[in-house]
Amino acid sequence: MLIVLGLVQGLCEFLPISSSGHLVLLSNLFGIEDSLFVSIILHVATLLSICVVLRKEIFALIRRPFSSESMNIYIATIPTCLFALIFMSLINSSFEGSFLPFAFLISAVVLFAGEKLAKKDKYPWQSKERTIDSKKAFLIGVSQGIAIFPGISRSGMTISTGLMLGADKSEVAKFSFLLSVPVILLSLVMEISKMVLFDYSISVSAIGISLSFAVAFLVGILSIKAMLSLTQKAKFKYFSLYLIIMAVIAFFVI
């Protein structure tokens, strides 16, 4: 089962279908134990996937921490952190799964809208400048904050928001994945803190979790590359349909 979780995390973390939503659904179906520790390990795996695929972009940000690209990452991260702090109790309760069907539907609608509205200069809210500026970065960060709830896809929300604002398809996809780095790091700090504060005991198989880590890492690399390609075509309607099906399944399962 741990290998299945690694596969799900690697696929869903970067495809616009919500890894947290799928993990919550699986946890409810199979009564998975030590889910917090497993979540930490799998998030580390997908974080390494990003570092491998976008290593040049990440090194460029590290070398130039005050460049416009780096500042956009900071600007987009701020509203995400504010959402997490303000809605902490609501977010924790949402992991029980009762909100999951509606969250999947929200993702489906946003993905569909992102594909339909990804037209340069066609709508009044789209700027002629296709690069990501501070305003676009902030709004993308707000959409990422909403995606803190399981079932609402982080990559789907951020990429679709960027496309709706008229940003370049390739640039917004890379920005979305780079933006996940500080978010994953912050979530890891929070999850590890919970383990320390609540004296969390671990009973999962070392071999099982190692295999799960490897699967999540390798599948994550493939998922990032696939999503970078898919964003160029902006063909999200199939993912939207899939999420509608998942919403129906979650409604009857949870």
Statement: the pTM of the whole predicted model exceeds 0.75: yes
DSSP 10-48: HHHTTTTT-HHHHHHHHHHHH--SSHHHHHHHHHHHHHH
**Residues 6+ positions from 29 with CB-CB distance below 8 Å:** 253
Model pLDDT for residues 88-108, shown as the tens digit of each residue:
888 878 877 888 999 999 999
Cβ contacts of 198 within 8 Å, gap of 6 or more: none
Instruction: Choose the weakest-confidence range: 43-47, 152-156, 239-243.
Output: 43-47
Which among 137, 176, 186 has a CA at the least distance from the CA of 153? 176
Give mean pLDDT, residues 34-52.
80
**Residue of 137, 133, 128 whose CA lies nearest to 73:** 137
Is a pLDDT exceeding 90 seen at residue 82? yes
128 or 218, higher pLDDT? 218
Coil, helix or strand at residue 205 = coil
For tokens 């991260």, the residue is 77
Residue 12, amino acid: C
Residue 224 CA to chain centroid, in angstroms?
11
At position 242, the amino acid (one-letter code) is Y
CA distances from residue 106 to 9, 114, 121, 138, 165 in whole angstroms, order as listed: 20, 12, 25, 20, 18
Q: Which pLDDT belongs to residue 141?
A: 96
**196 CB contacts (<8 Å, ≥6 apart)?**
none
Q: Check residue 156 and give its pLDDT.
A: 92
Per-residue pLDDT of 8-28, as tens digits, reads: 888 888 889 988 888 888 877
**Interval 58-65 mean pLDDT:** 93
pLDDT at 34 over 60: no
Length of the chain: 254
What mean pLDDT is reported for the chain?
85
Tokens at 175, concatenated: 């920005």
The total number of structural domains that make up the chain: 1
pLDDT band at 5 (very low <50, low <70, confident <90, very high): confident
Measuring CA to CA, which residue among 158, 168, 160 is closest to residue 121?
A: 168
- Residue range of the domain that includes 139: 2-253
State the pLDDT at residue 246: 95
Tens of pLDDT along 105-155? 999 999 999 888 876 666 666 666 778 999 999 999 999 999 989 899 999
